[in-house]
Structure 1
Amino acid sequence: MQLADHEAEREHDLIAACDDCAPVVVACAYVTTDAHAPAARTSEAYAWLILSIGAEQAAGTALAERLSEQPLVGAALPASGAAFILTLLLTAGRRLTPPNTPPFSHHHR
């Protein structure tokens, strides 16, 4: 019984951590959209962003329900999502630089 309590506490901590970082991720998505959307298509870009956030939440909720009975698979889901996003950012990083931004330099002055 003690192991089940410990696992429930870890799951609660993970959910709390996700709740804390979700608003930051959404705010970054809005800033990135604002930086990259052409001025004439900003409204459309925000509409697509809102649609994608809603679809992601629905898919995540459906997947979480399926995985709630399998704690090991459920625990691997955030790690695999983080690995996917890291890979995406590393491969698309140059394209995500806002216009008129000087290139990043490793030399500090």
Structure 2
Amino acid sequence: MNEDNTGSRESITSDTAVTEEESMSKGYISRVRNTDKKNKSPEEYFRWAVFGITMLLLFIAAIQFYFSMQDAISTWFEWEYVSLFKSVYNLVIIGLCVYIIKLFVFRKQA
């Protein structure tokens, strides 16, 4: 009885091996399960949470700085030049944002 079970197991594994070889020769990509995935520790989750909170605070501070600069421009310059300086300020912000986005896009592609 043990011989029958062993023989059937060998035939199953040999059939599977032949099937994988056939699929590889046909150019198919076989799926491989990654059983060695790294389990994330609580410390890593904590670091990601701190990073997320920091990025949120940075985003809020950047928005507040943007509107504060708009008010400062209104205070520092004569009323007839306020729209001109606000336009230049907005243009500088747009240029900076495009530059940062370009850096991230080209770094991701490489």
TM-score, reference length from structure 2: 0.49
Q: Whose RCO is larger (CA < 8 A, sep 6+)?
A: 1
TM-score, reference length from structure 1: 0.49
Higher radius of gyration, 1 or 2: 2
